[in-house]
Amino acid sequence: MPSMAANNFSRNTHQNQTKGDFVSRKQKIEQQRKNLPIAAVERRLVEEVRNNDTLIIVGETGSGKTTQLPQYLFKWGFCRDGGIIGITQPRRVAAITVAKRVAEECGIPLGQKVGYAIRFEDVTSGQTKIKYMTDGLLLREALLDPYLSKYSVIIVDEAHERTIHTDVLLGLLKNVQKARSKSINGVVNTDHNSSNNGHALEERIDNQNDGILKSCQVKKYNPLKLIIMSASLDARVFSEYFGGAKAVHVQGRQFPVDIFYTHKPETDCIDAALITIFQIHLEEGPGDVLVFLTGQEEIESVERLIHERLRQLPECSRKLLTFPIFSSLPSEKQMRVFMPSPAGHRKVILATNIAETSVTIPGIRYVVDPGLVKARTYDPKMGVDSLIIVTTSKAQALQRSGRAGRDGPGKCYRLYQESFFEKLTDSTLPEIKRCDLSNVVLQLKALGIDDVINFDFIEKPDRTAVVNSLWSLYLLGAVTEDNKLSDVGRQMARLPLDPVYSKALIVASQFGCLKEMLICVAMLSVESIFYAPREKLEESRNALKSFASPEGDHLTLLNVYRAADEFFQKNKMVHSEEKAEKNLRKWCKDNYINSRSLKHARDIHSQIVRNVEQMGLRVTSCEDDTLLLRRCLAASFFLKAAMKQPDGAYRVTLSGLIVQIHPSSVLFRAKPECIVFNELVHTNHSYVRNVSRIDYLWLVELAPHLYAVQD
């Protein structure tokens, strides 16, 4: 058992909520809403929004910002001009769960007045007035509607997370706001003093209208209200960025939380977490437990281990229920974490850092924090974007412990030493400083912002990272030599995919294998299709064999998709759609395929089929011509090619990085001379995943700007 040293943190205390007697769910929700800290300042907040075009709202997590403010604004007439209220979230899970909650609070079905939209899923309608969405999605909307004309209010929520999309969005919204207010004053296009980007927006709007509007007739837009919401205490950076915009603070309700550290460093954080969970369960008073883990895999193994250990406990001590929450969990399961635990039971919520600020789960009294988080990092020299596990910042650790003190005094167990806490960085580096920028650069260019380096970012990305992404966009043919967006680039930007995948679809339409590439791209866009539980490794490997292609993982994925689709279509001929879906899930289970991932891939597939059809691309099939398909893979993924070395390792042609083929790949043993791959992962080695066998000469033929015949 990790030994814990107590370290008291004192916080301001408030009285707990009064419990109602037997009341209906509706009344209960009404009561909860009234008790939220934000409810006390409803009118004041609404006034502030009325008086300020840009407002920054800082408030402790759980005070009611995300769920309540949009409802207040709706109630107080901010949609009267026909516009709607948009709220962006960095995470899909937050957008979905919050929208569901708000629809329930309003007593209406989701998708009507209240809805959400995330990539590949739109649960809104013409009636939707409060729309939750991811920040990335709103950026995409700006491509089609540069003035974001349907919104009267846009709330950028969780701005402190500083995701790359939030940062870009802030810059963009600043311009949209300027352009919309100019349209009211009738000053458009003629103002050459406007900032580079504001000007770009106007020019783009001009282009869209074939120049007919040129500086005379201009549509008038209502002003855009912009609200930036954040959980951290430092509003200054946002306020300064928005020219000294007003910041208001919403007081939270926080009980004291005792912080415990371990006496010595923990080597196995999963084991330490387990021990702590059971220590709490067996020795502490009532209250649910929130455990911060790094991802789906870790969550699933901790869940399994908890169940194993529970079986060893006497019957009376087994009243512990586990609830995972992570982004790829199906949404009906995500909602389960919000249900109160049945009488006499304790809930253990196993969460990624979703639960740090974006999702508030009631009833938590104990937090277990191993101090780790999965984060994106980017190595501009190698051009490698990867997800790795890093230590949290101090700010994150504080947010996490704060989750224990919402409903009463709580305890937080940090699975590291106090001296280690002191060494943590104060806050996390914004994502824009640590990820591949090609997607964002492509989008900005499609929005008419050519000079990306001088774009008014809240924090500038590194120049090398921008230059590198321009270089890879150039190699993909998305930008021209003088850094302008090409026609291909414009097409690529219309697809909701990574630039490399968008390009692959365009290339495939020329090769005559778009039908197959659409499937490959959909399958590559989801988390692991194959499901290999530790205790059934042998069986799952055998199952994979029936789909495996000696040509590589892309064709293997294609085989899986086709087999699943054939099975589904046959079933649909004799059964209802529901029954066919159910049978498909069973088929997945029998074949060790992750049915959730497959479902997601099928959804993505149908959306991108619609996208390419709208773009006028011809969806033709190469049938069984695998040679043609592999040539197309080479022509699409030439940026990620590698050659076998004498020792059996691979050398990535562009970066020189030495990598291995990942053991999960069908080519792990075959080790062909030359490969293309889609993914690079770092654990103790650098591995490449989703690999296909190609011929080096194809690279010379199909990507001559990069490859020459070797001596």
Residues in touch with ligand CDP (CB under 6 A): 36, 59, 61-68, 97-98, 101, 338, 360, 362
356/431 with CB nearer ligand CDP = 356
From 323, 356, 353, 328, select the one nearest 121 (Cα to Cα): 328
Give me the least distance between CB of 157 and ligand CDP, in Å please: 7
Give me the least distance between CB of 153 and Mg ion, in Å please: 16
97/472 with CB nearer ligand CDP = 97
Question: Which of Mg ion, ligand CDP, none is residue 338 near (CB under 5 to 8 Å by kind)?
Answer: ligand CDP
Give me the least distance between CB of 83 and Mg ion, in Å please: 22
CA 433 from centroid of its chain's CA atoms: 17
Q: Convert 10-30 to b/e letters by CB count within 10 Å (16 or more is b).
A: eeeeeeeeeeeeeeeeeeebe
230/556 with CB nearer ligand CDP = 230
Q: For residue 333, which phi and psi values (nearest 5 degrees)? A: -75, -35
Residue 8 is given by DSSP the state: E
- In angstroms, how far apart are the furthest CA atoms of the chain? 84
98/274 with CB nearer ligand CDP = 98
354/442 with CB nearer Mg ion = 354
Give me the least distance between CB of 287 and ligand CDP, in Å please: 14
Give me the least distance between CB of 210 and ligand CDP, in Å please: 43
**Burial class (CB within 10 angstroms; exposed 0-12, middle 13-18, buried 19+) of 126:** exposed
360/571 with CB nearer Mg ion = 360
66/239 with CB nearer Mg ion = 66
Question: Which of ligand CDP, Mg ion, none is residue 362 near (CB under 5 to 8 Å by kind)?
Answer: ligand CDP
Structure tokens at 309: 């250990």
Give me the least distance between CB of 349 and ligand CDP, in Å please: 12
**Burial class (CB within 10 angstroms; exposed 0-12, middle 13-18, buried 19+) of 429:** middle
Question: Which of ligand CDP, Mg ion, none is residue 98 near (CB under 5 to 8 Å by kind)?
Answer: ligand CDP
Give me the least distance between CB of 67 and Mg ion, in Å please: 7
From 567, 537, 559, select the one nearest 626 (Cα to Cα): 559
Terminal Cα distance for the chain, rounded = 62
In sequence order, the β-bridge partners of residue 261 are 5, 414
Q: Find the helix packing angle between 499-511 and 595-614, rounded to 10°.
A: 60
How are the residues of the chain apportioned to helix, strand and coil, as percentages rounded to the nearest 5? 45, 20, 35
Amino acid 179 reads A
Question: Which of ligand CDP, Mg ion, none is residue 62 near (CB under 5 to 8 Å by kind)?
Answer: ligand CDP
Q: Report CA torsion sign: 256, 261, 267, 272.
A: negative
Give me the least distance between CB of 291 and ligand CDP, in Å please: 18
Question: Which of Mg ion, ligand CDP, none is residue 690 near (CB under 5 to 8 Å by kind)?
Answer: none
251/611 with CB nearer ligand CDP = 251
Q: Which secondary-structure segment (H or E) carries 230?
A: strand 225-230
Using DSSP, state whether 236 is helix, strand or coil.
helix
367/652 with CB nearer ligand CDP = 367
Beta strands in 270-363 (DSSP E): 288-292, 320-325, 346-351
From 446, 438, 298, 269, select the one nearest 368 (Cα to Cα): 269
Give me the least distance between CB of 65 and Mg ion, in Å please: 5
Binding residues for Mg ion (CB under 5 A): 66
Give me the least distance between CB of 212 and ligand CDP, in Å please: 44
59/672 with CB nearer ligand CDP = 59
> 89 near 163, Cβ under 8 Å?
no
The closest residue (CB) to Mg ion is: 66
